[in-house]
Amino acid sequence: MNANPLTAEIARAKQLETVAMYERNEAALAEKVTRPVAALSEGDQPILIPFAQWATQNRVRYCPAKPTTVAAFIAERAHLGEQVALDTAAAIARLHDVHGLSNPVATATVAAILDAIVKCDPPRSWPKEDKARFSLLPADIREVIGRRERERDRALRRQQNELRQGTAAESAKSKEATNG
């Protein structure tokens, strides 16, 4: 059954009018909202250039990027052995923030890829229940907590060693004083 070309053209015009209305109304709302000033960091450019080149080679947009595009890029880089998953995700998120676009990194699709790539065990000192909840945290938060816990453990061991060395030195002085 052939559709009337005039009817199709009218439907298309109504769609365009609706889209234009949405654009006007969204622009009016945007004027009422104060957006935080976002900026790319100095280290973002070396991270974003490979992403933009990869997207161009794959004939997909890098900004605004779709979550599947970001996830595919991060997964491919991880497969190649690169350890840039969290830095890449953060830079892509900032790129979208700078342009006032939705963050493709803050999606379940990208989170699933990051969860598969970023391996971070819960702190050993945590109780079993907290360790189970740790796995529910986003990969970037787990990585930060894990790094801070490792730093804390190293500092604690260093202080324990210094204390032992100080105690051993005092013990040696005490023996010398008793024997001398």
pLDDT at 138: 83
Kindly report the CATH number assigned to the domain that includes residue 89.
Answer: 1.10.150.130
Within 35-155, strands assigned E span none
Per-residue pLDDT tens for 129-170?
888 888 788 888 888 888 898 899 899 999 988 888 877 777
69 and 89 in a common domain = yes
Q: Are 92 and 48 in contact (CB under 8 A)?
A: yes
Boundaries of domain holding 132: 128-179
147 and 78 in a common domain = no
Q: What is the mean pLDDT of residues 3-31?
A: 92
pLDDT at 174: 72
Domain finish residue from 86, 117, 148: 117
Q: What is the mean pLDDT of residues 60-80?
A: 95
Q: What share of the chain is helix, strand, coil (3-state, %, to 5)?
A: 70, 0, 30
113 and 45 in a common domain = yes
Q: Is residue 13 part of a domain?
A: no
Residue 124 has pLDDT above 80, yes or no: yes
Average pLDDT, the chain: 88
Q: Is residue 52 part of a domain?
A: yes
Q: How many CA atoms lie within 13 A of 101 on its CB side?
A: 16
Q: Is residue 86 part of a domain?
A: yes
Q: Is residue 142 part of a domain?
A: yes
Q: Are 67 and 104 in contact (CB under 8 A)?
A: yes
pLDDT at 55: 96
pLDDT at 12: 94
Say how many domains are in the chain: 2
Residue 8, C-beta contacts closer than 8 angstroms, at least 6 positions apart: none
